[in-house]
Amino acid sequence: MYKMAKSTNLEVDRRIHECVKLLSSAKANSYIRRYAAEEWWASERQADRYLARARDIIRADYSLERSEFMASRIALLDKITEASIKAGQHSNAIGALRLQAELTRLLDGK
């Protein structure tokens, strides 16, 4: 019986991050398993291992402390406000500023 060569660590990492992208775009487990079988010749069991590791990465990305999460979102809103003003999209800038004001009130505990 022919046995497939073992994937390199780099290839496994690439596959796991591909699973992260697929999960993040709301693809179903069955879709990802089929994708893994067609693209990588992975068994259902191997695809489930990739999915488990992908979910671990997603969980780690969102396990920030509340204050760190809020700070990153406020910084992103700064960029959105700046880009909106440069593009002449003033209503978008106002919306970003309004959301930023709401978030900072949360940080102040009000």
Same domain, 35 and 70: no
The answer to the question of residue 4 being in a domain is no
The model's pLDDT over 52-95, given as tens digits with 9 standing for 90+, comes to 999 999 988 877 777 888 888 899 999 999 999 999 999 999 99
Please state the domain count of the chain: 2
Contact criterion met (CB below 8 Å) for 15 and 7 = yes
Question: Which domain range does residue 103 map to?
Answer: 66-108
The model's pLDDT over 17-62, given as tens digits with 9 standing for 90+, comes to 999 999 999 999 999 999 999 999 999 999 999 999 999 999 888 7
With 0.75 as the threshold, say if the pTM is over it.
Answer: no
Q: Which residues contact residue 41 at a Cβ distance below 8 angstroms, ignoring those fewer than 6 apart?
A: 4
CA gap 47, 45 in Å, rounded:
5
